[in-house]
Amino acid sequence: MYGEYQIIDLPLSAGVVRSKVETFLAENGLRLEAVDRYVGIEDSDERLIAGGGICKDVLKCIAVSEEARSGGLTGKLVARLMQLGEEAGQHDLKVFTKPEYEDIFASLGFSVIAKAGKAILMENGDGLKRYCSDLAKHRRPGRCGAVVMNAAPLTWGHDYLVEKACESVDALFVIPVVEDTPGFSYRDRYQALASAWLEELKVEVCSGSPYAVSKATFPTYFLKDLSDAAETQMTLDLDIFARHIAPALGVTVRFVGTEPSDALTARYNELMKKILPEHGIEVVEVPRLESEGRPVSASEVRKAVAEGSFRRADAIAHPESMPMLVGALASRALRMELDLTPKPGLVDKNGSGAHKDMDYRLMESSIGAIVPFIHAMASINPDDDVPSDMVELGIKAEQKMLAATGGVNTHKGAIFSLGLMATAFAQCYWEGETVGEKALKSKIVALACAVPKSKDTHGAKVCSKFKAKGALQNARDGYPALFKEWLPFYRKVKAEKNGLLKTLLLIVSQLEDTNVLYRKGPAVAEKVRSMAREALKNFSEDKVRNICGRFTSEGISPGGSADMLALTVFADSLLS
């Protein structure tokens, strides 16, 4: 009946297609989850009879309608998904499935790596075996313990857990969760963990993997979805730890912090205390460290970052997390500038403004490309040649930006200004005192004075032709308008509905914007400042929309002002 068939791509971005897939999965007792690709087989009436998806290295949402299950479609569907995985560079593919389907997947080269009552996790490579072989190289004699932590970011609470664990073991293995958290990548978190306990001889930070609290073994952890599916995934995750990871390291005790607020993590701890002892592994629950009567939590740090307060985040974050906090706050500032809608002549959610080579999605890609370098600037060792390292990272950031945007200069000015401030702030931070405006300005001036002048940029040509200050000279002067005008104004109005927009208008009204000068000359630049002053003095949303329309039609883009708006937000968050 199904001898002739065609496996087709099903684009879930199309509402009709997505609804069709959701209905099909629901009829087969499943629900649609996040996937990179979804493919299916339809009958002659275009009715979906088989479908399956792939998300990175995990096959999921695989179903075959009851009347088609004898047609051998499952194997053909999975073979196609495996091909897609190979094309995407994904190896060691994994699949959650019911125990009764083990033979089908075994015939396609999959083997069981974890079991729970209602499900099994299978893999078609030797990834788990290789990972455990690597872990085994780190085995130590004596009583060995393990901690699996997300540490997004690392806090004093994590440090306390490790300190308490070390009191009762000869060696402690710290395994970071491998999944990236927005603003806190696995690479950065691993480096923070390794640096934090560099001199603690008992502690060894192991590499993370898809086999311990990952989106492969425990996807609902990242959705905070406490359900039957979550419980099954917890069991599979703990089964892998008990039967593979712990034996590889010689671990006989696992440490966890108590969980007073998150129901899913609390349930995970309960299952851990039930399952691991069955495999001879003790579970020790350490009371959470508290600050001002509240548990110290990475989620509180992330909340402080989201609200733009470095000082509140830093109060409970480990010092090794500082560069991550600075990078996350830089990302927040750039996103706030981009998301501000409407903006005169600039890319926003409504459109591209005066630009024909940029749009919202391109700007998003650019931000993602440059923020890791701002984080890196905040990581520069004070004993190194800080100005040279900063400039080198800035050049690399520009190269990454151009690669991400197809050669379009989206954030060159922001790389300089936010990178300079991030570097200056970090250098002040490592000097050991709370960073204030005076110290930050002084460090900005010193670093900017060590940066050589450019000769071939648009900004340099404008400065030479029109005797304008430009970005470098503004920095060498310590950004006087930023600290005297823009930052106090922003702090006064930021709680207002249009506070960010009003701050942009203030900046446009005062800044000698080299972007406008380069494209339109001094007469138009002065007219732009005058229009912004008038719009701010007699503010209304209609007036702003009129300016937006005029700037767009006349090709006026105050890009330098956009950079300074992001810098103002960034400065406020670092000093708040």
Boundary residue ending a domain (276, 296, 316): 296
Give the chain's count of helices (H) and strands (E). Answer: 24, 14
Tell me the residue type at 575.
L
Q: Residues 273-310: pLDDT tens digits?
A: 999 999 999 999 999 999 988 999 999 999 999 999 99
> Residue 205 region, left (φ>0) first, then alpha (ψ -120 to 50), else beta?
beta
Has residue 120 been placed in a domain? no
172: in domain: yes
> Is residue 123, in this structure, part of any structural domain at all?
no
Environment class of residue 14 by beta-carbon count within 10 Å: exposed (0-12), middle (13-18) or buried (19+)? exposed
Q: Quick check: 484 pLDDT over 70?
A: yes
Tokens representing residue 12 in the block: 């879930």
Mean pLDDT along residues 100-110: 89
Whether 317 maps to a domain, the answer reads: yes
Phi, psi dihedrals of residue 286, rounded to the nearest 5°: -100, 125
Q: At how many degrees (to 10) do helices 322-339 and 186-196 cross?
A: 150
Residues 107 and 188 occupy one common structural domain: no
Q: Are residues 469 and 323 part of one domain? A: yes
How far apart (Å, rounded) are the C-alpha atoms in residues 297 and 482?
A: 33
> What pLDDT digit, counting tens, does each position of 11-22 carry?
999 999 999 999
Same domain, 89 and 211: no
CATH number at residue 401: 1.10.4200.10
Residue 34 reports pLDDT greater than 50: yes
pLDDT of residue 216: 65
Residue 46 — very low, low, confident or very high, per pLDDT cuts 50/70/90?
Answer: confident
In order of 228, 330, 501, the CA distances from 308 in angstroms are 37, 10, 17
> Do 285 and 322 belong together in one domain?
no
User: Rounded mean pLDDT of the chain?
Assistant: 92
In percent, the amount of the chain with pLDDT more than 90 equals 76
Q: Considering the domain boundaries, does residue 457 fall inside one?
A: yes
- pLDDT band, residue 219 (cuts 50/70/90): low
Asked if residue 2 has pLDDT above 60, the reply is no
Q: pLDDT at residue 220 above 60? A: no
Encode burial over 316-339: b for 16+ CB neighbours within 10 A, e otherwise.
bbbbbbbbbbbbbbbbbbbbbbbe
Tell whether 385 and 350 lie within a shared domain. Answer: yes
Please state the domain count of the chain. Answer: 3
Which residue among 263, 296, 329 closes a domain? 296
Strands of the sheet containing 144-149, edge to edge, are 203-205, 171-176, 144-149, 251-257, 282-286
Same-domain pairing of 191 and 209: yes
CA-closest candidate to residue 78, choices 126, 110, 30: 110
Q: Which domain holds residue 108?
A: 7-114
221 pLDDT band, cuts 50/70/90, is very low
Q: Going by C-beta distance under 8 Å and a sequence separation of 6 or more, which residues neighbour residue 470?
A: 459, 460, 462, 463, 514
Q: Is 93 helix (H, G, I), strand (E, B) or coil?
A: coil
Residue 71 has pLDDT above 80, yes or no: no
Sheet strand arrangement including 7-9: 7-9, 37-42, 48-55, 58-64, 94-97, 120-123, 111-115
> What pTM was estimated for this model as a whole?
0.90
The string over 144-179, giving b where at least 16 C-beta atoms fall within 10 Å of a residue's C-beta and e elsewhere, is: bbbbbbbbbbbbbbbbbbbbebbeebebbbbbbbbb
Give the containing element (helix H, strand E) for 414.
helix 412-430
Q: Is the same domain home to 422 and 491?
A: yes
End position of a domain, from candidates 270, 296, 322: 296
391 in the same domain as 499: yes
Q: For residues 374 and 514, state if they share a domain.
A: yes
**Same structural domain, 400 and 524:** yes
**CA–CA dist 509, 250 (Å, integer):** 66
- Are 444 and 354 in the same domain? yes
Which CATH number characterizes residue 244's domain?
Answer: 3.40.50.620
Read off the pLDDT of residues 140-171 as tens digits, 9 standing for 90 and up: 999 999 999 999 999 999 999 999 999 999 99
Q: Cα–Cα distance between 436 and 412 in angstroms, integer?
A: 27
In CATH, what number is assigned to the domain containing residue 74? 3.40.630.30
Band of the pLDDT at 6, cuts 50, 70, 90? confident
Assess if residue 320 is contained within a domain. Answer: yes
Return the pLDDT at 1.
45
Q: Does 311 lie in the same domain as 251? A: no
How far, in Å, CA of 320 to CA of 135, rounded? 25
Residue 124 covered by a domain: no
Whether residue 1 lies inside any domain: the answer is: no
